[in-house]
Structure 1
Amino acid sequence: MATPQHTDPSHTKVVVIGAGCAGLATSALLAKLGYEVTCIDRTDTIGGRAFSLATDQAEGFRWDAGPSWYLMPDAFDHFFAMMGTSTDEQLDCPMLDPAYRIYPEHGGMLDVPNGKDKVVGLFESIEPGSGEKLRDYLDSAADAYDIAVRRFLYTTFSSVKQIVTGEVVAKSPQLATLLTTSMKDFAERYVHDTRLLQILTYPAVFLSTRPSAAPSLYHLMSHADLTQGVRYPMGGFTAVMDSMHRLAEQHGATFRLSTEALAITTTPSAAPYAGPLQRAADRLGRIPGPWSRLRHPVADATGVRVRSADGAIVHLPADIVVSCADLHHTETALVPAGYRTFPESWWGSRDPGPSTVLVYLGVKGQLPQLAHHTLLFSDDWTTDFRIVYDRIGDGLPRSSSIYISTPSKTDPGVAPDGHENLFVLIPVPADPNLGHGSVFSGTGSPLVEDIADAAIAQIAQWADIPDLADRIVHRFTAGPADFADRYHAFRGGSIGPAHTLAQSAFFRGANQSARIGNLYYAGGTTVPGVGIPMCLISAENVVKRLRGDLTPDRLEEPLSAPPGGRAAAGR
């Protein structure tokens, strides 16, 4: 267990790098505990990838720039309860029905309804006998979701002993199967129709991977999708970020935007071990999780050197630094070379997941062909995944299985009367060389714009909107280079490192530096993983790390300092 370091939060300075979801959540939780929190972000807005896009040129339109699918409502409920409030007090989140619409490549349309029984009926109507099989599948997904929440998500992976309990041992045969079988192969045990298989396995993309590479333990996503249902926060994820920002400031956190982290400053804390034992420990320490504890911390963070909005280089002193920036960028650019837990050599074989071309459209007139969430699926999407992950193919480097969000179906505040707001996501390889979009630079690269043109034409054809291109009154795009430049995203990935078996749980990364005793990490590039709910959990896990809490249990609601005032612990 960690030893107490900071016993009085009110006299403990914390600098949080990044004001995206994880940075906002971390700032809010630590501020509630009484820490003196300063959160910085290199952009001029909060939310990170979940920022709000609105321009004078597109008056009346507002786009959620990134996340748009509200899943795992229990993660939001728990976060707000820790903050002493509730989701209902902070957000208005109606359930969507249909949850989403699907257009298969060769015609037809499927609406996936809200409610488990209705989804079972849909499956049965398409493939007789699959309805009851789906119930079994969803029961298995619910069980996997339950054990993941109770044992694997709200943990720092600092102790094998705290995770490998009697319950986990009893379930080890089942867990072994789920970890060694892909989502694709697991789903094929239950259904055969291509469309039904795609409904069960498309959530792999939420995990930044493909169904053939994601462990079937992640079929738990079908519980979040088909059983818990799909909601929409009115005002979009902008409303979610605004709520977190507001709560953080109410508890005393300070935000400095247009302030770029240049380096995490350190001071030596002890002489490093010498000899073969330390070299062996260093090698094991590059394996995330408990092995990293074998490495000897040789420094303490003293703050962050930043470039302020006025261009001045200043130092923000800190007792604790939490980086919610991309972990690759943090470790290879912000952490001094001698103190890196995950040096450049560690990243060579890492799977960055996909990148995306994003298209933001303002369209004149109504689009009844589209639901709030619409998915276009290729009949054989293996080719799509190979284009994105393996870089095969001679055509445009983009998937033909794409996603469209039309929040104007639910939220009148995102588009003028008589218009629709479209957010189109096209998976592409993680490669900044594909170029920028127009949203930040004003002019998109030819390849990014060609990919956007192809997607618009595909939507027009598959959803039977022949005049779609002619009705577009505003258009903006973003490409892999934007993710690399704006967010320092590893290889220009847009979601985060893929959730393959080799990049999950103990093997994903660690949320504390092994070499700098009071440097912590949160966000989608570390544990537990990608997505807004995981970012909320990663913020909570920083609190657990500070407390020396090795359990997999959720923290108390509302969050408060432990008895005796020990709110933080370090190495």
Structure 2
Amino acid sequence: MTGHKNSTTVTPGTAVVIGAGVAGLATSALLARDGWDVTVVEKNSAVGGRAGSLEIDGFDGFRWDTGPSWYLMPEAFDHFFALFGTRTEDHLELVDLTPAYRVFSGDTSVVDVPTGREEAAALFESIEPGAGAKLLTYLDGAEDAYNIAIDRFLYNTFSQLGPLLHKDVLTRAGRLASLLTRSLESYVNSQFKTPILRQVLTYPAVFLSSRPEGTPSMYHLMSHTDLVQGVKYPVGGFTAVVNALHNLAVEHGVTFQLSTEATSIDTANVNGKTVTTGVSVLHGGKAEKIPADIVVSAGDLHHTENNLLPKKLRTYPERYWSTRNPGIGSVLVLLGVEGELPQLDHHNLFFSEDWTDDFAVVFDGPQKTRPSNSSESIYVSKPSASEDGVAPAGAENLFVLVPVKATSSIGHGDAYMPEASASVDAIAEHAISQIAAQAGIGDLRERIMVKRTLGPADFEHRYHSWLGSALGPAHTLAQSAFLRGRNKSRKIDTLFYAGATTVPGVGIPMCLISAENILKRLHSDTTPGPLPEPVPNAAESVG
């Protein structure tokens, strides 16, 4: 780790990682490479967590990803694989999506959003005269914010504030202060007038589990990822990403115990410090203990703190959560449709004209304009546009995400339960009707061969997600950077946290970065920025 502080504070020994989602897989692989004897415990019967996969008996040829579907920030993946001395192309086959995505907004014409600064500027100019030049300036700022985030904020444990006092931050202090205290909605609306252009630039707030009016405009950096870097698709979906991470972990000697639920994190007092001694689990109805020198919870932080630890050892007790924003919930609708759907591209965003009400129903509760209690700004993925293996010949695969309030009271779907809750089914049916109307697919409902759903209660039950949140806590100002949940317990010296509910935040790239930040913690590395590539392989060093 040349150039990074490398005085190891914890000698590699035994480690237990709770949760085999993306963060758990990535963390376990890095720990094993660093010389740790790693065991991963996962309550479900398969790895992947929210980035799951579903096949249904009787409907051969259909396979749905049940979680993330946007491959953004490609250099985060490239860097993670490079830490192991490999390349992304050694693990994944990526397809460039052109256009990046398709937008349906109210009754307006369909807009295909291209990749590339000049191409995006030309689109904006064709819709709103003068908007092209404004977009180029906007993207200049987005790129600068993106780069400073990579260099100073994302790969940062925030265990010291020194890195935030670097000249790159200080010389931008005024601009950063403005971007952090002004909302994304206000920032965009001050520059662009046409509703659909405003929507394209502010919708990325949803990827941050937030809403435009509550998201700091610092996050306009997201437009750099989709409009400039572009959108790719990993063949095999995010299941292929999960498999790649799982294979890396197994190759480095990680042991996985599936269908094994952590019931408590065990501790002891040693030399005046509280340390972990292991994890108690329930496997096949039998209680067991797995010893460990360190524990990394890559599961939901609220569940970890309030269900796996006694009150006296909680860094984030219930009173902490009473003032936090859980982010968005979602109803997922998985459809197999007979025949082709040329009206849809791979990624599709459906926006209603009542943009404010869409977010109000998600964050404030029921609205008179939203009888379904769900947003009408929804996302539809058609992976069968880019891959034959997700649907039978002559059929299409659709994944529909409908934002709803993060509350398990909305209910569960029928993907893993015998039948869906009435409210989840109603929301799904409303979304199907909306897609049919806005995309002009009049016979969509009649062509549906199979439908399955998930609701907030599924996220709560399957992933212990706080309030059934789909992505993790919203990226508001009070829940970003060093104000987000830290990645190390204040009460237990050898307990760490990774994943979407801690720093740096939600999304697959952030989960990969959170795993790297665990390694930095263990090496007392307080420098910001990505680690040098590759990280040393302890097994090879010993050999």
The aligned runs of 1:132-281 (5 Å cut-off) are 132-269=133-270
2:294 alignment counterpart: 320
Q: Partner of 2:266: helix, strand, or coil?
A: strand
Correspondence for 1:376 among 350, 353, 365: 350
Indicate the residue corresponding to 1:295 in structure 2: none
Q: Does 1:6 align with 2:10?
A: yes
Q: SS where residue 122 of structure 1 aligns?
A: helix
Tell me whether 1:434 sits opposite 2:438 in the alignment: no
SS of residue paired to 1:321: strand
User: Could you give the per-residue CA deviations for residues 112-166 of structure 1, whole angstroms, max 9, x where no partner exists?
Assistant: 0122211111000000111011000001000000000000000001111122212
**Tell me, which stretches of 5 or more residues in structure 2 are unaligned?**
none
Q: Structure 1 CA distance, aligned partners of 2:524 and 2:92? A: 32
Q: Shift of residue 442 of structure 1?
A: 2.1
Partner of 1:276: none
Q: Which shows bigger deviation, 109-118 or 177-186?
A: 109-118
- Alpha-carbon offset, residue 3 of structure 1: 7.6
| 1:17 counterpart residue number | 18
Aligned counterparts, 1:38-437, within 5 A: 38-269=39-270, 298-308=273-283, 310-394=284-368, 395-437=371-413
Q: TM-score, normalised by structure 1?
A: 0.92
AA of the residue aligned to 1:305: S
Instruction: Look up the equivalent residue of 2:274 and give its one-letter code.
Output: A
| Per-residue deviation, residues 49-81 of structure 1 (Å, max 9, x unmatched) | 001111223211000010000000010000000
CA distance in structure 2 between the aligned counterparts of 1:372 and 1:504, rounded to whole angstroms: 31
**How many pairs align?**
535
TM-score in terms of structure 2 length: 0.97
2:501 to 521, 525, 536: 525
2:479 counterpart of 1:503: yes
1: CA distance, partners of 2:307 / 2:423: 29
Q: Is the 8 A contact 2:413 2:452 kept in 1?
A: yes
Deviation at 1:106, TM superposition (A): 1.5
Distance 2:207 2:501 in 1: 14
Q: Which amino acid aligns with 1:302?
A: T
Paired with 1:439 and 1:462, the residues of 2 have a C-alpha distance of: 26
- 2:306 counterpart letter in structure 1: T
CA deviation map 1:75-108 (0-9, x unaligned): 0000000011111111111110010001111131
* CA-to-aligned-CA distance 1:18-47 (integer Å, 9 cap, x gap): 000000000111111221011110000111
Give 1:417 deviation, angstroms: 0.3
Q: AA paired with 2:251?
A: Q
DSSP 3-state at the match of 1:555: coil
1:101–1:110 contact (8 Å) kept in structure 2:
yes
- Residues 406-448 of structure 1 show CA distances to partners (whole Å, capped at 9, x for unaligned) of 0000011100000000000000001101101001112000000
Contact 1:71 1:231 in 2 (8 A): yes
Runs of 4+ in structure 1 over 6 Å off: none
Alignment check: 8 A CA contact 2:101 2:345 kept: yes
Q: Deviations over 1:152-202 (max 9, x none)?
A: 000001111122212211110010110011111111232110000111110
| 1:461 matched to 2:437 | yes
Distance 2:405 2:141 in 1: 32
Give the match's secondary structure for 2:521: helix
One-letter amino acid matched to 1:191: F
- Are the equivalent residues in 2 in contact too, given 1:388–1:398 (CA < 8 A)? yes
Kept after mapping to 1: 8 A contact 2:9/2:524: no
Structure 2 Cα separation of the partners of residues 391 and 317 of structure 1: 44
Counterpart CA distance in 1 for 2:246 and 2:317 is: 32
Asked if structure 2 preserves the Cα contact closer than 8 Å seen for 1:264 and 1:336, the reply is no
Deviation at 1:2, TM superposition (A): 10
> How far off is 1:466 after superposition?
0.5
1:461 deviation in Å? 0.5
Q: What secondary structure, in the 3-state scheme, does the structure 2 residue paired with 1:359 have?
A: strand
Task: Choose which of 526, 533, 537 in structure 1 pairs with 2:513.
Answer: 537
Identity %: 54
Paired AA for residue 373 in structure 1: H
Name the SS of the counterpart of 1:56 in structure 2.
Answer: coil
Where 2:153 maps in the other structure, the secondary structure is: helix
Quick check: 1:107–1:462 contact (8 Å CA) kept in 2? no
Structure-2 separation of matches of 1:38 and 1:214: 37
- Establish whether residue 33 from structure 1 lines up as the match of residue 34 from structure 2: yes
Give the 3-state SS of the residue equivalent to 2:94 in structure 1.
Answer: coil
53-62 or 202-211, which deviates more: 53-62
Residue type of the alignment partner of 1:380: D
Tell me the SS of whatever aligns to 1:403.
strand
Counterpart code for 2:195: T
Secondary structure of the structure 1 residue equivalent to 2:58: helix
Contact 2:154 2:529 in 1 (8 A): no
Structure 1 residue 553, shift from structure 2 partner = 2.3
Alpha-carbon distance in structure 2 between the residues aligned to 1:324 and 1:100: 31
Shift of 1:270: 5.2
Q: What whole-Å deviation, never above 9, does each CA across 1:214-253 have from its counterpart, x for those lacking one? A: 0000000000010000000010000000000001100111
Give, in angstroms, the shift of residue 559 of structure 1.
Answer: 1.1
Could you report, residue by residue, the CA deviation over 1:254-300 in whole angstroms, capped at 9, with x for unpaired residues?
Answer: 111100000000002355xxxxxxxxxxxxxxxxxxxxxxxxxx410
